[in-house]
Amino acid sequence: MKTKLFNKTLAHVAVASALLSSASYAAVNAENGIEEASLEHIVTTASRSQQDKFLSLSATEVIGQAEINAIQPQNIVELLNTVAGVTVTNLGGPGQSTSVFMRGTESNHTLILVDGVRVGSATLGTTSFSSMSVGLIERIEVVKGPRGALWGSDAIGGVIQIFTKKLKSGEGYVSGSVGSHGFWKTEAAIGLGDESHSLTIAAAKEESDGINATDYAGQEDEDGYERKSFSINGYSQLTDEYSLNLVSRYEEGGSQYDNKYGGSDENEHKNYSVKLGGAYNSGKLLVETSIAKSQDQGGTFSGNAQPKVVSEITTKRDQFGLLGQYSLNAKTSFVSGFDWYEERVSNSTLAYAQDKRIARALFVQARHQQDEFLFEGAVRKDDIQGLDKETTYNLSAGYQLNEDWLVSLSKGTGFKAPTFNDLYWPGAGNPTLKPEKVESIEILVRNQFENGSVEVSIYDSEIENLIDWAPDAGGIWHPENIDNATAKGVDLTVSLQAGGLSHLLAAGYVDTEDKSTGKQLRRRPKVTATYSLGYQLDELTANLVLDYRGKSEDSSDTLSSVLLTNLSLSYDITTELSVTGKVNNLFDKDYVVADHYLTDGVNYQLAATYTF
């Protein structure tokens, strides 16, 4: 049975890849005899090819529609917070800046993809989660640990890939929400087409008066936000072998924020991505190609100034990808590809010393099974203009004890290219900077059983060449490669369905150390845990979330631990109409996750959804 299970999975792997939309997956799977029901157990981000999540040799978590519906999140932060090994720090409430620390690495050490498209700022090196609407999200895959051998720069701590909404033809919904602090939101989505050609259109708009973001004197005001989003996800099966897919999303909005110098400050954003992909599938051979464009544009201005003067920084990125996948036999398969992208940046107030660069990369991955042993290996060479070539790798070996138990050992590397701000900021950049690098080893144990699963991963990461900005003798700040760090920890995820109750525990322990100071890295608690308890009785569904965040260090203070309680109730009035109520921070805990930034007390949301 062990051999049959793995052989079946390798056959699945040979016929799909991460660059296809989920609609494309369904068509490919139908041709190759894979049951549509099994798609919920398929992941793509970990290996850039479809594989059964249980047999993935990397720690991978999936946040699907079931989890999204249970959590009823106001923002993507609430979703990512349920993943073991991921710490999210929100600076001043919804709509404000958010940092994501994966396995103790920096907030810019996680690669963010939307439908296979690299997004985010090439000047800051981060992605604005506060600008993303949950209403457009179909699912999220989180791969923990360095994946430079498949994805290139930025994947030091891991990879987060967001897939936009996909519905079957004739499906759709309309939803409206209200809540604390003047919050309101509307969402709608519809699926069009037939079995061969499909199109999903989704849109969302929301606003909130917000909370006071900081404790700075003279800044005792509410800092609200607004955002609107739109996405399309289309797929066409042209012939038995050829298919096309188109995915695109647009986000626009802004927020108010505080700073210690006073004044009325606001920001605005206009972000988008679009990708057109094509695939040829002959059974053993799958060839895909895609072209994509993305923009990350942010501007700041004084809300009291007239006329309005916006200081704007923009990243534009053109991308091309070619991927081939070949199944030699039922036990051995290969994936190889070529990635190319050009980044262009602009600053409305200052000119960069260099404002564009081109990146090229070749990679290859092999998978093989020998009896109960599983082997994976990948290597990639990146050539980024202005930097030395970087070679990264991932090596994994697994042993399947039986159909329900898997043990694996992995070692991998990754790197983070210096940003345009690091290299070329006018009067301060350092063009001699080296990329930040990581080398990590991981032991993974996974068990699946009839009513749930357990996954434990132990990791040890060494990070070098960390870039830090510091003032020189003249008080001018410059970046240098001066820091090394370590991150060692354990992630635990347990899911269980028993007695009408659903349980999900996601816990993490990470011990980080800045080698230059001997101190724990900022804003990364050693212990985090989220426990979700769900219960359904006829038309009523209840979900309780306990969210624990241990002590952490910041610039000047030790931040205390906190246990938050969130409760949501959903009732199906009819098969089409449902209502939901949610209370966050039920016991009105007063806590801080970053120096000077405030958090919300008890708050609520009410929503009604009509589905057709």
- Domains belonging to the chain, first-starting first, are 2-611 (2.40.170.20)
Residue 218 has pLDDT above 80, yes or no: yes
Please say if the pLDDT value at position 31 is more than 50: no
Q: At 555, is the secondary structure helix, strand, or coil?
A: coil
Q: How does residue 39 score in pLDDT terms, banded at 50, 70 and 90?
A: low
SS (H, E, C) 416-449: ECCCHHHHHCCCCCCCCCCCEEEEEEEEEEEEEE
Whether residue 129 contacts residue 139, with contact meaning beta carbons closer than 8 Å, is answered with: no
Phi, psi (deg, nearest 5) at residue 77: -55, -45
Indicate whether 19 pLDDT > 70: no
pLDDT, tens digit, 9 for 90 and up, residues 488-508: 999 999 999 998 899 999 999
Predicted confidence (pLDDT) at residue 17 exceeds the cutoff of 90: no
Contacts of 425 (CB under 8 A, 6+ apart): 350, 352
- Residue 307, H or E segment: none
pLDDT in tens, 445-500: 999 999 999 999 999 999 999 999 989 888 899 999 988 999 999 999 999 999 88
- pLDDT tens column, 512-521: 999 989 999 9
Cβ neighbours of 393 (radius 10 Å): 17
pLDDT tens digits, 524-573 = 999 999 999 999 999 999 999 999 999 999 987 899 999 999 999 999 99
Give the span between the Cα atoms of 106 and 125, in whole angstroms: 11
Q: Sign of torsion, CA 77 78 83 87? A: positive
pLDDT in tens, 387-427: 999 999 999 999 999 999 999 999 999 999 999 999 999 88
Which residue shows structure tokens 């610039």? 555
Helix H or strand E segment including 490: strand 477-498
Q: CA distances (Å), 40 to each of 118, 200, 325, 532, in order?
A: 24, 19, 22, 20
C-alpha closest to that of 62 among 453, 323, 551, 570: 453
CA distance 98 to 88: 7
> pTM of this prediction?
0.92
Mean pLDDT of 357-376: 97
Evaluate the omega torsion of the peptide bond into residue 94 and state whether it is cis, within 30 degrees of 0. Answer: no
Q: Which token pair is 259?
A: 């700073």
d(CA 287, CA 551): 49
Confidence check: pLDDT of 4 > 50 = no
C-alpha span between 382 and 118 (Å, rounded): 15
For 66-107, write each residue's pLDDT tens digit: 889 888 888 898 999 999 999 999 999 988 999 999 999 999
What average pLDDT does the structure give for the chain?
91
CA-derived radius of gyration, the chain: 23
Other C-beta atoms lying within 10 Å of the C-beta of residue 33: 10
Distance from C-alpha of 566 to C-alpha of 547, rounded to nearest angstrom: 8
**Distance between CA 51 and CA 474 in Å, rounded?**
55
